[in-house]
């Protein structure tokens, strides 16, 4: 069984004037096919942790492994999706989604067909020859998802990918993305400020403490919510119960931050 293991990770940013410890003693395991979220007060180190898992930042201490093998820079087992879509405006949608494969010299006709089929499955038809400026924000984020999935990573890291979208588009994309990742059996790690989004999309939620961030609490999302769409999950009593528990913990952490 393949899993992602974050072992005793600590990270300090050293600047000329100071040393800022962003993370301390992070220890967690994410099983294959799980969808987990990181929630926590502003500045608690969520993005730092995601960058370390992505192999973009080397932790001051500790290791991250997938299937007991250390991760490395540009690790093809990991895909990264950000708040901004970073599509190249001068390239067509098709060129954009095939770019990662070509840069990694992993392009094949078969992989192109899979990527184009994924584009259709995610509700984008007849867009291959268009340019990013011709699409809406929600459509561009779907293209960014397909570009990330085209390299067939086993783990997908999502750093607030829906935060720039309007509420309705966001709910629709939450549903599309979670359905797509579930059907492809991908493991996903989401960083978000939105408790509702974390509950509607995850199997487990890690709440990080104030900086230096460490895992303050882990919440398991009840099974009955997992089979529902993000919209329907929000109507379920179990959703409200979990929302309130997380809200209380977060409020407690944030009030400690101000004192
Ligand atoms: N390159 C850097 N150099 C110095 N300090 C940094 C750097 N990047 C982040 N930090 C600091 O590390 C801490 C954690 O930052 P990080 O962006 O990981 O938090 P976050 O939880 O993602 O924040 P937010 O919720 O506001 O997006 C913050 O105090 C931040 O100021």
- pLDDT digit string, tens, across residues 179-200: 888 888 899 999 999 999 999 9
Given this model, what pLDDT does residue 2 score? 61
CB atoms under 10 Å from CB of 60, counted, come to: 16
Which tokens hold the place of 141? 């984020």
> What residues are in contact with ligand 1 under a 6 Å CB criterion?
13, 15, 20, 22, 40, 42-48, 211
d(CA 213, CA 195): 18
Evaluate whether 162 touches 170 at the Cβ level (below 8 Å).
yes
How many angstroms does the Cα of residue 74 sit away from the middle of ligand 1?
22
For residue 88, is it within any domain? no
Please report the atom of ligand 1 found closest to the CA of residue 20: 5
How many angstroms does the Cα of residue 65 sit away from the middle of ligand 1?
23
Mean pLDDT, to the nearest integer, of 221-246? 91
- In this structure, the residue with its CA closest to atom 4 of ligand 1 is 13
For residue 182, is it within any domain? no
Mean pLDDT, to the nearest integer, of 196-210? 94
- Mean pLDDT (the chain) is 90
- Burial label for 205, CB within 10 Å (0-12, 13-18, 19+), is buried
Q: Is 5 helix (H, G, I), strand (E, B) or coil?
A: strand
How many angstroms does the Cα of residue 47 sit away from the middle of ligand 1?
7
For residue 181, is it within any domain? no
For residue 169, is it within any domain? no
d(CA 215, CA 234): 25
- In this structure, the residue with its CA closest to atom 26 of ligand 1 is 42
Which tokens hold the place of 19? 């040393």
Residue 257 clears pLDDT 80, i.e. is over it: no
Please report the atom of ligand 1 found closest to the CA of residue 191: 22
Using one digit for the tens of pLDDT, what is the confidence trace for 28-67? Answer: 999 999 999 999 998 999 999 999 999 989 999 999 999 9
What CATH number is attached to the domain comprising 195?
3.40.50.300
Given this model, what pLDDT does residue 45 score? 93
d(CA 177, CA 69): 27
For residue 202, is it within any domain? yes
d(CA 143, CA 150): 10
For residue 138, is it within any domain? no
d(CA 52, CA 49): 5
For residue 134, is it within any domain? no
Which tokens hold the place of 64? 């991250």
Mean pLDDT, to the nearest integer, of 120-139? 91
Mean pLDDT, to the nearest integer, of 142-153? 89
- Residue 71's domain comprises 1-77+189-259
Evaluate whether 124 touches 173 at the Cβ level (below 8 Å).
no
Domain count, the chain: 1
Given this model, what pLDDT does residue 259 score? 61
Given this model, what pLDDT does residue 171 score? 86
d(CA 64, CA 81): 19
For residue 133, is it within any domain? no
Given this model, what pLDDT does residue 258 score? 64
């Amino acid at each position: 069984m393949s899993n992602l293991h974050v072992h005793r990770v600590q990270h300090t940013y050293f600047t000329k004037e100071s040393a800022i410890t962003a993370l301390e003693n992070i220890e967690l395991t994410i099983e294959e096919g799980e969808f987990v979220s990181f929630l926590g007060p502003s500045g608690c180190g969520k993005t730092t942790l995601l960058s370390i898992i992505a192999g973009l930042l080397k932790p001051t201490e500790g290791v991250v492994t997938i299937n007991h093998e250390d991760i490395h820079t540009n690790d093809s087992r990991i895909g990264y999706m950000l708040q901004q879509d970073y599509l190249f405006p001068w390239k067509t949608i098709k060129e954009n989604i095939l770019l990662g494969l070509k840069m990694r010299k992993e392009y094949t006709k078969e992989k192109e067909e899979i990527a184009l089929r994924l584009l259709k499955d995610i509700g984008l038809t007849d867009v291959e020859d268009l340019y990013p400026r011709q699409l809406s924000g929600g459509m561009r984020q779907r293209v960014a998802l397909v570009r990330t999935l085209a390299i067939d990573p086993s783990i997908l890291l999502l750093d607030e990918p829906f935060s720039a979208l309007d509420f309705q588009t966001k709910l629709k994309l939450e549903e599309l993305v979670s359905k797509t990742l579930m059907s492809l059996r991908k493991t996903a790690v989401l960083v978000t400020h939105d408790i509702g989004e974390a509950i509607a999309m995850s199997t487990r939620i890690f709440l990080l403490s104030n900086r230096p961030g460490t895992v303050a609490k882990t919440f398991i999302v009840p099974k009955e919510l997992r089979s529902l769409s993000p919209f329907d999950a929000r109507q379920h009593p179990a959703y409200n119960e979990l929302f309130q528990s997380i809200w209380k913990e977060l409020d407690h952490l944030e009030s400690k931050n101000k004192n």
